[in-house]
Amino acid sequence: MADCIFCKIIARQIPSQIVYEDEQAVAFKDVSPQAPTHLLIVPRKHVAGLSACGDEDQALLGHLQRVAASVAAKAGVASGYRLVTNNGRSAGQSVDHLHYHLLGGRSLQWPPG
């Protein structure tokens, strides 16, 4: 998508602090961190959100979960982190590209908000 900020980050049209990438996913630091560790994990494939995923995306979704575990370990928060995805504006999704927030490095309260 030409106007998607995450697609532009993936294409290196917008600078970002990328901490991980492979053929299916990219992880980078959030520009407005809500925890000492706040990374975004996005698929290279543009998908608007979790509800837009189909059966063909099952392997991709599993891969994103494994990437999250890997980048959490690399960031030093494997012993405790939160992985969040928002789906839709009413849930707080501000970019229409599937993404996971990985939050860690501090005590995370429940319920979250």
Show the domains of the chain with their CATH numbers: 5-104 (3.30.428.10)
- How do residues 60-95 score in pLDDT, each as one tens digit? 999 999 999 999 999 999 999 999 999 999 999 999
- How do residues 28-44 score in pLDDT, each as one tens digit? 999 999 999 999 999 99
Q: Determine the Cα–Cα distance for residues 57 and 7; give it in Å rounded to an integer.
A: 18
Whether pTM > 0.75 for this model: the answer is yes
What amino acid is encoded at 11 in this protein?
A
Catalytic, 99? Answer: yes
Catalytic residue among 38, 63, 99, 101: 99
Residue-by-residue DSSP string for 18-81: EEEE-SSEEEEE-SS-SSSEEEEEEESS--S-GGG--GGGHHHHHHHHHHHHHHHHHHT-TTSE
